[in-house]
Structure 1
Amino acid sequence: MPSIVRAVLSAVTASCVVIGAAGCVQTPAPLPSGTASSSAPPRPFTVLTEQRANTTDPAGGRNDSDAMVTLDLFQRLMLVQPSTQLLKPDLAKECLFTAAQVYECTLPKDVVFTSGRGLTSADVKFSILRAIRLAPQKMSMLAALRSIETPDDTTVRFRLKYPDNQFGFGLAVPAASIVDHVAYDSDKLRPVEQAPIGTGPYQLDSWDSKGLTIARYARYRGPLGTDMPRIRIAWSDSPTAEEALTDAKAEIVWRTLSPAAIDRLQNRIVQDQDDGRPAGYFRWGLPRVVLQRLVWLSRSPYRANASLRNAVALALQEDRTASSILPSMIEGHTDTFALGGEPKMPKLEPGIALALRFTDSSPAMEDLANHVRDTLQQKLGITVQLVTESERADLELRDSAPMVNTAVGWLQDYLKNPLPGSAGKLSNLEERIRSSSREDVQQPALVEIQKQAAADATVVPIAETDGVLFLRQRVDLVGEAFGPGWQLALWGARWRN
């Protein structure tokens, strides 16, 4: 495995120990071979999240909740556990390089879609090409793809433009999920009103204005089987989620709680432990898996203004705690953005008015958006207006998961939208990293990309923070409990014995 994608499990485990006093218990245990012996309570297993899912089409996902739904309803050829960066088959029986620029996957013969039709290599080819056409940015990890061949129903042969050590990881991202080519339109996203057709461990049971319900798919064939017959995923604000967790009306609360609610819950856990009482819930350890960043959107007329981009980066320097667009827990991280101090602010031309939006993943993002707006206005003398996530904007605050938890995966925010003057250089550097397994080749290229990111300032890091995931004490997460970029995947949910 290339040096820049080595496991980061040791860092995660060490951080979990630090958090342990506040209720962090473990990272996912190995997937059990049998089924859980305890029975589910009368109401469905319930997951609460503030971030609403918008689609069941893998090519249409816009946020981490969309990714969660996709991960549960569909399969991908490959699977990645983010804590170890271990790449292994999911839908495929095996995938391997048969030549330097040929990646070949063999499919099982007994996989059946929820439509009742058997899956073949034609579905895989259709799904990958469809996703590249409908969602090219989400499929940028497959940039080396030249063509796809299907010599028989169980063989998929990918021919590449150059040797690519990241290609298998690209086949594990949510957008690369396999759909039924007979049922899906090759040029349009599937509406929510039409039932999704996949081969994942779950199938959609219902979707309404308050959330969705998924049910175990009896004909699922793969490594991620679940014992949970039904799971309800409901949209919730922070006060409702906090109350539901303390009153045992929800099993999992994900990316919903305000900073104050998180502090209250963790304090109650500590108090219960001090009083010798079993806490009713605990926080799952996800240390520093979230990178908050400010991204210039490609349609902004101000994006080409280098002085303004650099001024924005300088204005955020005093509060910045993340020093690169590559998180410090990933091998290859290099400090390229200055931290702290009181940098001198440049003088900008008058009349600049920017629109800033933010991903609605948690209440903390709204607080951060207000802080960033106030900082830019006070230090730069410009106007910044907060707009909704669906409105056009110049800047966007993001804390969404990367496509996959590797160095190249984290860099896609920057690499897939380069400035015209940097595009050629960045393309060559990325190909150099992907096509070599030598650290003395990869490392300098990786450092140069991070330096260029600081010079371009189209993606500005703000802070590395912990993921927010609370579970009831009766609940556990086992096996490959998260998607490739730390997205919650419900196939790992179990009742504790």
Structure 2
Amino acid sequence: MKRKSLVLPVVAGLLAPVLAACGGSDGGSGSGDAIVVGTTDQFTATKESPAPFDPAFAYDTGSWNVLRQSLQTLMHIPRGGGAPVPEAASNCRFSDNQNESYRCELRDGLKFASGAEITSQDVKFSIDRVIDINSEAGAVGLLKNIDTIETPSASEVIFHLKTPDATFPYKLSTPVAGIVDPEAYDGRKLRDGFDVTGSGPYNFKAETDGDRIVKAVFTKNSSYKGDLKLRNDKVELRSYPDAAAMGKALDSGEIDVMARTMSPDQIEDMTAKPTDKIELTEMPGLEIRYLAFDTDEPVVKDKAVRQAVASLVDRGEIASEVYGSTAEPLYSLIPATITAHTNSFFNKYGEPDPAEAKRLLDEAGVQTPVQFTLNYTTDHYGEATAKEFETLKKQLNSSGLFDVDTKGTEWSKFRPAQTRGDYTVYGMGWFPDFPDPDNYIAPFLDENNFLNAPYSNKKVSGELIPQSRSEAERSAAAKSFAQMQDIVAEDVPVLPLWQGKQYVAADDDISGVEWALNPSGELLLWELGTGSAV
């Protein structure tokens, strides 16, 4: 296997644009044959998660990756990263000096799959709908700062914000702000099942087995008007139960590309035993993993308990023994590849120290051993998750200060249970909605946080987050972000563990692989082609 490494530099918290791969401009799959991409993401519609592809409900990387192909947003992150640029819009801008009024003009000729023309009223309907439904499981928090939406003409939409927010253009690039057809979506309730009706680069069709998707088929939308350049006519996304099954499918030629999520063992094996037929591409990643605490639960309500956990966790052991070269220890919610990062947890706790953990618990009068369950999802972040949590269990229990157990649950049940507050301590992963330090802080600490967590800090939510969002020059917000990271290290409502790289393996006649998965974990199927790419 040939190994190809692509390094995308990160500047001021944003991904800097880089040069495209060499080659002609005629690449792409124009023969009618689909490019087939494998994934371990599971797509199910259940009683607890009935609407996996409704932008008012969906809030996981797999579902968002489906929506990115089939719904348009006003803005999008350009190839290689950087500030958002217009997509369904022809232009957008803040129309005031306080970053409180954002104005967009729609492109000419936008149409839904039904053939109906898209107007500013459809944009307003789509975003008002998410706010009105207000799903606890969804990403409505990204839009909660909208005060009113004005539509002075059929092509113009103006967002009036409650408080200044320089990150708002990024939020309009996420699937929660996707434009949906009012004829297909109820303004007050979720759209159950797997149908998606929009104006994105692809038309979407799900092939199912019972309540789960086995194949997601994306066919080029001939009516699409937008900023994206498609390099193929058809892509199939096939779900596999685990990385091993996905790897066998690549070896047999059943799929052309193996994306989320390859196992650490696969990556090490492919690196050590390269072949001429398959290329392994390494890309930077902005994914983080962390533990979260229900700070209202008596067993972890005293922050001394959470601080003791922080004093015992050995991130280096988790990274090296479970994930190998694919992960690095993380000492803040903001990853090291984002400019505002600080090593707040290392600065406060240093290396794992059982004596310090005991001191914290003794001074707080906490009876030991402290008992709780470490909950994790079995099928969402890859098969190594179970080993990671067994390692965490061993680290805590070997101190004699804790008596913890582990429990794994499939994602379709895990996420609703986590949102309801069923878990005292649980593990999650995070790919940013957009590559700005705000998106590693606000989703966890602001009001309407996506974890639906009870932890609240008035200085963070009432002062520091608004202060950071008022800075149009994002590097100027670094001081505010440093303070927030220190507060997280002190209170430990969440405990960062590691950040990861990303890998894609593909048949060597597939082009554009290095662009098809960006550092935020966004799957950009339109970048894939056969032959040369630009």
TM-score normalised per structure 2: 0.80
| Cα contact 1:303–1:458 (8 A) shared by 2 | no
Deviations 1:139-176 (A, max 9, x none): 43444322111111111101122332111011111211
Match of residue 91 from structure 1: 88
Paired with 2:208 and 2:474, the residues of 1 have a C-alpha distance of 50
What is the CA distance between 1:78 and its match in structure 2? 0.6
Amino acid at match of 1:69: V
> Could you say what secondary structure the match of 2:486 adopts?
helix
> Could you say what secondary structure the match of 1:352 adopts?
strand
Match of residue 411 from structure 1: 441
Match of residue 46 from structure 1: 36
2:389 is equivalent to residue 369 of structure 1? yes
Match of residue 357 from structure 1: 376
What is the CA distance between 1:206 and its match in structure 2? 2.9
Paired with 1:130 and 1:304, the residues of 2 have a C-alpha distance of 36
Paired with 2:456 and 2:519, the residues of 1 have a C-alpha distance of 31
**Gaps in structure 2 of 5+ consecutive residues:** 1-9, 45-51, 319-328, 418-422
2:343 is equivalent to residue 322 of structure 1? no
- The answer to which of 249-258 and 214-223 deviates more is 249-258
- The answer to which of 165-174 and 479-488 deviates more is 479-488
1:464 to 495, 499, 514: 499
Amino acid at match of 1:450: Q
Deviations 1:273-328 (A, max 9, x none): xxxxxx21222232243212112257756453312221222221463721111011
Match of residue 184 from structure 1: 185
What is the CA distance between 1:248 and its match in structure 2? 2.8
| Cα contact 1:173–1:484 (8 A) shared by 2 | no
1:481/1:243 CA distance change after superposition, 3 Å: closer
Match of residue 164 from structure 2: 163
2:207 is equivalent to residue 207 of structure 1? yes
| Cα contact 1:53–1:69 (8 A) shared by 2 | no
- The answer to which of 423-432 and 103-112 deviates more is 423-432
Deviations 1:352-398 (A, max 9, x none): 22241236121222221222233233333223231303143223322
| Cα contact 1:296–1:458 (8 A) shared by 2 | yes
What is the CA distance between 1:29 and its match in structure 2? 4.7
Paired with 1:135 and 1:247, the residues of 2 have a C-alpha distance of 42
1:115/1:162 CA distance change after superposition, 3 Å: same
Match of residue 3 from structure 2: none
2:282 is equivalent to residue 252 of structure 1? no
Match of residue 248 from structure 2: 243
Paired with 2:234 and 2:463, the residues of 1 have a C-alpha distance of 47
| Cα contact 2:281–2:513 (8 A) shared by 1 | no
| Cα contact 2:30–2:233 (8 A) shared by 1 | no
- The answer to which of 283-292 and 123-132 deviates more is 283-292
| Cα contact 1:72–1:201 (8 A) shared by 2 | yes
| Cα contact 1:30–1:479 (8 A) shared by 2 | no
| Cα contact 1:138–1:403 (8 A) shared by 2 | no
Deviations 1:179-199 (A, max 9, x none): 112321123221125x31110
Amino acid at match of 1:452: I
Paired with 1:325 and 1:91, the residues of 2 have a C-alpha distance of 32
What is the CA distance between 1:30 and its match in structure 2? 9.5
Aligned length: 469
Paired with 1:63 and 1:471, the residues of 2 have a C-alpha distance of 24
> Could you say what secondary structure the match of 2:506 adopts?
strand
What is the CA distance between 1:77 and its match in structure 2? 0.7
| Cα contact 2:57–2:139 (8 A) shared by 1 | no
- The answer to which of 307-316 and 66-75 deviates more is 307-316
1:340 to 344, 347, 351: 351
| Cα contact 1:318–1:342 (8 A) shared by 2 | no
1:109/1:67 CA distance change after superposition, 3 Å: same
Aligned ranges 1:280-291 → 2 under 5 Å: 280-291=277-288
1:335/1:419 CA distance change after superposition, 3 Å: farther
| Cα contact 1:122–1:181 (8 A) shared by 2 | no
**Gaps in structure 1 of 5+ consecutive residues:** 14-26, 273-278
Deviations 1:206-234 (A, max 9, x none): 32132322211111111113242222111
Deviations 1:447-475 (A, max 9, x none): 10110111121121111221132222111
1:28/1:458 CA distance change after superposition, 3 Å: farther
| Cα contact 1:373–1:386 (8 A) shared by 2 | no
1:430 to 461, 465, 471: 465
1:211/1:439 CA distance change after superposition, 3 Å: closer
1:147/1:298 CA distance change after superposition, 3 Å: farther
1:300/1:181 CA distance change after superposition, 3 Å: farther
1:310 to 280, 303, 307: 307
